[in-house]
Amino acid sequence: MDSSIITYCKKNHIVLLLLFIWLFRLCFLTQGNKGGVAINKYVVIQIFVILLLALKLHAEKVTFWKLLNYNATKHFAFLYIFGMISIIWSIFPMMSFFFSFENLVCMTAILYLSLKFSDVYQLEKFFIYTIIFIISMFLVKGAFSFRSFHSVTYSSISAMLTMYCLVELCSHNRFNHNSKTLKTGLVFGIIILFLTTSGGAIFSVFLALFAFLLLSQKSTWRMLLFLAIGTICILIVLGYQQKILAVLFPNKSTESILTAHGRTVVWNMINEKVAIKPLLGWGYATVERILPIYCIDAHNSIIGIRGSLGNIGCIYLVFTMLYVLSYFHLQRKNFGFRGIFFAILCAFINSNTSNFLASKAGPCTFTFQFLLVLGAAYRILNQRMIPANGEVTLNNGHEQH
């Protein structure tokens, strides 16, 4: 790792340590299937760490209201604030408040850390190394527990990392900056993506890659796309559709694919709950915990938020998704924005099998929030590096409004 990043970590060790403890609890100190609202010593650690993190940020005069200053982050911040307000009608009010508050604190901490960098290149390195570190924690856990490495969460993280690194390696506005770091992230992301064998995550990468080739201005990329489509069509005609599905959805039967690995049962149950409270739902991140079967994830962001925050929350989530995508697409000529756009597109596609966009915070949500924050931080850091007089200057991490 770059020595400057090590120096940076030493200067911001308290916030980084608290985030590490939080991630360590979520990755290693799991509570098992003992009830959707169980409070045990691990949950107490989680609550305590988030409160300490919030106090530390407040001491640094940084609150989650700062997220509202940036187009890249403000709408998801509003969504989490709406989740906090749902304490008024939530069936589990304290759970709704804490999960939404936790998301806001983590996203604010990422923004705080990102704006402490002096340039976009160091921030990008920090992002890639951080995601690799988070996935490595999962690998260590799997190695020590002798369990399968299959994981929807870490497949989703790898999918976002893969798309960001791949697209940025193909970008023209980088001048070979961080090329080794991007290649490391790409190789790591691809290996973990197939190691964790989540069909939804792999499929989301294929669709995001398809969109990348389709929107590319290079004739070479378009030719590759047409060749790929032609090859797939020929294979289907020759009867190889099952093998194609086996690549996109490893270890999944046709029945499993059609029923989303049985998740349609959960979705039908949530839709039944929505019919009872259609306008505002049952409270942020709670609907999964009142189903007839034990479930802590709706496995679909749209359905999950509709059950938690009703049709109002669902409409706002769809609007937020479209707004974020359009914003990053319009900014695609700026450093890093093309990578963020396709990584977030991949995340949105994959959110149909995992509810990480609008539920409790975790490693996958952390990665997604980091991408949003990159969109805010890249613009601010670029403005600091290239002022009106054309000279590169630093501003000690404080934003100019």
Percent over 70 (pLDDT), the chain: 78
* Residue 290 DSSP code: G
Taking residues 215-243, report their average pLDDT.
Answer: 61
Give the model confidence (pLDDT) of 4-35 as tens digits: 777 888 889 999 999 999 998 887 776 555 44
Q: Taking 60 as the threshold, does the pLDDT of residue 212 lie above it?
A: yes
CA–CA distance, 320 with 327 (Å, rounded to integer): 10
Q: Give the three-state DSSP class for 272.
A: helix
Q: Give the three-state DSSP class for 251.
A: coil
DSSP assignments along 132-183, one per residue: HHHHHHHHHHHHHHT-----HHHHHHHHHHHHHHHHHHT-SSSTTTTHHHHH
CA–CA distance, 200 with 154 (Å, rounded to integer): 12
Q: Taking 50 as the threshold, does the pLDDT of residue 391 lie above it?
A: no
CA–CA distance, 148 with 141 (Å, rounded to integer): 10
Q: Taking 50 as the threshold, does the pLDDT of residue 392 lie above it?
A: no
Give the model confidence (pLDDT) of 240-279 as tens digits: 455 545 555 555 544 443 444 557 788 888 889 999 999 9
Q: Tokens 């046709």 belong to which residue?
A: 254
Given a contact cutoff of 8 angstroms between Cβ atoms, the answer to whether 348 and 321 are in contact is: yes
CA–CA distance, 46 with 23 (Å, rounded to integer): 9
Distance separating the N- and C-terminal Cα atoms of the chain: 33
Show the tokens assigned to 355: 């509810």
Taking residues 368-374, report their average pLDDT.
Answer: 97
CA–CA distance, 274 with 81 (Å, rounded to integer): 21
Q: Taking 60 as the threshold, does the pLDDT of residue 184 lie above it?
A: yes
Name the least confident of 39-53, 69-83, 214-228: 214-228
For residue 107, what pLDDT band results from cuts at 50, 70 and 90?
very high
The CA-CA-CA angle for residues 386, 389, 392, to 5°, reads 35
Q: Tokens 């798309």 belong to which residue?
A: 163
Name the least confident of 31-35, 139-143, 324-328: 31-35
What's the confidence (pLDDT) of residue 256? 46
Work out the mean pLDDT of the chain and round it to a whole number: 82
What's the confidence (pLDDT) of residue 293? 77
